[in-house]
Amino acid sequence: MSEAGRAKKTKEVAESEAEAANAIVVEVDEASEIEGERELSAAELRGAVESLIFVAEEPIAARAIADVLKIDVTTIDETIGDLATEFDRRSGGLQLREIAGGWQIATRPEYHEHIRAYLKSKPSAKLSLAALETLAVIAYKQPVTIPEILDIRGVQSPSAIKTLLDKRLIVARGRKETVGRPMMYGTSKEFLIQFGLKDLSELPSIEDFQDLAGGGS
Amino acid sequence: MEDTLQNETGTATAPEPAPESAPTISVIGAQPEIIPDSENDQLKIGLGEFEGPLDLLLYLIRQEQINIYDIPLARITDEYLRYLQLMKELDIAIAGDFLVMAAQLIEMKSRMLLPRDPLAEEEELIDPRTELVDRLLEHQKFKAAAQMLWSRSTVEQAVFTRAELETDKSNPEVAVGLFDLLTVFQEILGRHKEEIRLEIEREEVSMAEMIERLRNMVRSAGEINLLHFFEQARTRRELVVAFLSVLELVRLSEILLSQRETFGEIVARAAS
């Protein structure tokens, strides 16, 4: 009895999923009719999106995926959402994550030891404290000039700025319209990637650090 | 503002704990270390984790358990100068940065010591420490932010993306940015400079060797065409030496020069 009930329920779920899939196909149908391309089923669409994210060299934006598949961004966004849930539910070695304004398939950090053992790689050299502090100032104050950075840090040596430029974590952002028209700097896309950020708004507010600072004494 | 002023007088009357009179200031995690650099025959000095004067001040404030909003300037200036003395013995270049702060601290200290002008405007009553406190707090915020970035990058270093596909490299020209181009250009320029500096050691033929060579040639061949002798010279210098050696042997009457016709080839023959 209960066995049969469960079986029936599964069937119902399957049917409703199929319906949902059909609904998406209908939407897609209108969009791709002009192109004369075969419409994708929901499962196929998920597969296509996943494969594109996998193959993209850099984090790929939903917009770029939409352009390739000739499907509207809203549908792509939904599909990516579904995919992300799938990845999470599976909780395997991979994650689908949003980074630097795009999507990326990457390993989960907890498996880094095994990956390093296989790649025979060591963690790359960390930035010095001076460079990190300089980077923090630039990240929160951008666009910002070198004198402004040095003033906040209370030092006179701009060597950390060169390090950051060499590592492409910061880029020039035009000149400030003031005496001497000094160059202004801001963080780069590489910064977002290396620090695992979707965008700058994902950085915690600098005011949040005030509590930490005040609590120190 | 009122609060700050009251606190300040409070600090002034309360006896300050005597600063520790340790000969050197030892700091956990900030111990100056001397790293001998055998290659350049220099001593490198690491000053721990103090990246600048603000860093040092924050450290001292924390160590002395001082309320950052009410810094006892006399005490902290003494501490600061004591540390500076140590640094001065070690690294003057870094101390330059720190000296500015020392001057500011002393200036603030002296301003605080002066009695306040009772007729002064409200604005002039602003605690001279306010600006310093603001800077310290700001600096501390960014230190915390740097910590946050550090932990983020640590996690991020444990995340891997797929290895490069073959197509990534199929069109390397496109993948090159202006920055790469400049880097390569710099490299080439650097290499070029090295090439210029590379000196080829030329074989120097001494006058004595050249005379000996000419003597042997004349002796074995009986007579030689001077043109052929000069043509053997590989460098300008060698040519000059060759010419001088001919003159020398003529002077010593070891060889005779003769010319069969006007503007003809000159032949050298043994004199006897």
Q: CA B254 to CA A199: how far, in whole Å?
A: 92
**Taking CA atoms, what residue in A is nearest to B48?**
A129
Q: How far apart are the first and last CA of chain A?
A: 68
Q: CB-based contact (8 Å) between B143 and chain A?
A: yes
pLDDT digits (tens, 9 = 90+) for A176-214: 888 888 999 999 999 999 898 999 988 888 887 765 544
Q: What is the pLDDT of residue B75?
A: 87
Asked if A95 and A137 sit in the same domain, the reply is: no
Measure in Å the smallest separation between the Cα of A78 and chain B Cα atoms: 23
Q: What is the pLDDT of residue B176?
A: 58
Q: Is residue A213 one of the residues assigned to a domain?
A: no
Phi, psi of A184 (to 5 degrees): -105, 150
Overall domain count for chain A = 2
Is A3 a residue whose pLDDT tops 80? no
Chain A residue numbers with beta carbons less than 8 Å from the beta carbon of B55 are: 154
Q: Is residue A158 one of the residues assigned to a domain?
A: yes
Asked if B6 and B119 sit in the same domain, the reply is: yes
Q: What is the pLDDT of residue B21?
A: 36
Measure in Å the smallest separation between the Cα of B83 and chain A Cα atoms: 17
Q: What is the pLDDT of residue B15?
A: 38
pLDDT digits (tens, 9 = 90+) for B21-36: 333 333 333 444 455 5
Q: Which residue range(s) make up the domain with A56?
A: 9-118
Q: CB-based contact (8 Å) between B61 and chain A?
A: yes
Q: What is the bridge-based pairing of β-strands B266-270 and B223-225?
A: antiparallel
Report the residue of A95, A155, A189 to disrupt the B interface, i.e. the one with the largest count of B CBs within 10 Å.
Answer: A155
Asked if B17 and B91 sit in the same domain, the reply is: yes
Ranges of chain B with pLDDT below 50: 1-33, 37-38, 40, 42-46, 172
- In this prediction, residues A142-156 reach a mean pLDDT of 87
A84-88, A119-123, A209-213, B177-181: range with highest mean pLDDT = A84-88
Q: Is residue A95 within a helix (H) or strand (E), and if so which, with residue range?
A: strand A94-99
Q: What is the pLDDT of residue B101?
A: 85
Q: CA A105 to CA B65: how far, in whole Å?
A: 48
Q: For the full predicted model, state whether its pTM sits above 0.90.
A: no
Per the rule left: phi > 0, alpha: psi between -120 and 50, beta: everything else, B204 is: beta
Q: What is the pLDDT of residue A124?
A: 76
Q: What is the pLDDT of residue B123?
A: 59
Going by pLDDT thresholds of 50, 70 and 90, the confidence category of residue A33 is: very low
Q: CA A84 to CA A106: how far, in whole Å?
A: 12
- In this prediction, residues A39-54 reach a mean pLDDT of 90
Q: CA A61 to CA A198: how far, in whole Å?
A: 11
Q: CA B123 to CA A162: how far, in whole Å?
A: 41
Q: What is the pLDDT of residue A23?
A: 47
Q: What is the pLDDT of residue B200?
A: 65
Domain boundary among A118, A142, A174: A118
Q: What is the pLDDT of residue B13?
A: 37
Q: What is the pLDDT of residue B67?
A: 83
Is A118 a residue whose pLDDT tops 50? yes
For the domain that residue A61 is a member of, what is the CATH number? 1.10.10.10
**Taking CA atoms, what residue in B is nearest to A113?**
B158
Chain B residue numbers with beta carbons less than 8 Å from the beta carbon of A123 are: 157-158
Q: What is the pLDDT of residue B268?
A: 84
Q: What is the pLDDT of residue A73?
A: 94
Q: What is the pLDDT of residue A102?
A: 93
Domain boundary among A118, A143, A172: A118
For the domain that residue B218 is a member of, what is the CATH number? 1.10.10.580
Q: Which residue range(s) make up the domain with B255?
A: 207-270
Of the candidates A192, A126, A134, A196, which has an alpha carbon nearest to the alpha carbon of residue A165?
A: A134
Phi, psi of B27 (to 5 degrees): -130, 125
